[in-house]
A = this chain, B = another copy of it.
């Protein structure tokens, strides 16, 4: 679970995948796309993503040498997921900007002696979706 989400962990990681979403891109191009990232961090993230199989590194024999980074097919499969998170995310951020409506306070029933027991949850509906 966390292992899988760790695919996109690390600062700048989503941006980099995003930048590669419409074609390969070189090291210096990625630097220009994200002006405030440092070379060290950029190399780090690219190496991580390469190790995880999200992108491929391709050295071109130009002079001076240039290096291209491109999403793999599995890397490309992450794009829809990213967009949907961003979609929800921006709605959430908008909600924060305009004063948070409805601080809901419903008057729960009092005086029940013990709280209800629930099973310790082995399967979730998400597990079901997975198969």
Contacts and interface: CB of A to CB of B under 8 A. Distances in A.
Given A7-B89, A90-B4, A53 B84 contact: no
A38 B34 CA distance: 36
Size range of the interface on A? 35 or more
Nearest to A5: B14
A46 to B, nearest CB: 16
Chain B CB count within 10 A is highest, among A63, A89, A100, for A89
A69 B58 CA distance: 47
Interface in A14-69: 14-15, 18-19, 21-23, 25-26, 29, 32-33, 52-54, 56, 58-64, 66
Contacts of A88: 4, 7, 74, 77-78, 81
Contact of A115 (B52, B60, B118): B60
Contact of A2 (B11, B29, B83): B11
Interface of A: 1-5, 7-9, 11-12, 14-15, 18-19, 21-23, 25-26, 29, 32-33, 52-54, 56, 58-64, 66, 74, 77-93, 95-96, 100, 104, 108-115, 118, 120-121, 124-126, 129-130
5 contacts: A4-B92, A29-B121, A58-B108, A62-B114, A74-B95
